[in-house]
Amino acid sequence: MTTGYPTTSVFLPNSMTRNILILIAIVLAPVVSGCGVQGDAYQQMPAPATKSVVYLYRPYRFFGSGSAPIVTCGHQTIELEAGGYYVFTEEGGQITCTAGDAGSNLKFDAHADTDYYVREDVVPGSTPGPVQFTLVNAAVGHEEIAETRLQAPPPPVTR
């Protein structure tokens, strides 16, 4: 049945559609793939007999990935980027991980010759703050940290 109205397509011509899709892909490619830490893949550090090994890691998540809050875990202070991990040794005893006033604190007792996995999540707009720490068991830690990259230690402060 004809209505007498001219027929027009609401879609763009094929070449224009293709060009727009290519432009969108070019713009979004760096956003999707270029974020995160560029260091070495996860490798487990042998635990010294007299110290514990702490893995602080931050899985990559798009939301919150633009910020790298300063966190302190044990005697180490670092701005851990999304998709990164940092490994260090500590004497036995209580270890505290904090992000200042920007989130929750985590305290746990460390024992010599033991590995500990601390996940840092940055969730903008969350309560008590955007940084949340979770002590996870070794099986979960191995699985989650495998998707991260080693972040270089912060440069020493010179005065």
Which structure tokens are listed for 68?
């790298």
113 vs 92: CA distance, rounded Å:
9
Please report, in tens digits, the pLDDT of each residue of the chain (159 residues total).
556 655 555 555 666 666 665 555 444 444 444 445 667 777 888 878 899 999 999 997 775 566 778 899 999 998 888 899 999 999 989 999 998 766 678 999 999 999 999 999 987 765 556 888 999 999 999 999 999 999 887 666 555
Q: How many CA atoms lie within 13 A of 132 on its CB side?
A: 13
User: What are the residues facing 102 on neighbouring strands?
Assistant: none
Distance CA 23, CA 45 (A): 44
Closest of 91, 35, 78 to residue 59, by C-alpha: 35
Task: Starting at the earlier edge strand, list the strands of the sheet with 149-150.
Answer: 131-136, 115-122, 52-58, 84-90, 149-150
What are the CA-CA distances from residue 124 to residues 19, 50, 90, 91 (Å)? 35, 38, 30, 33
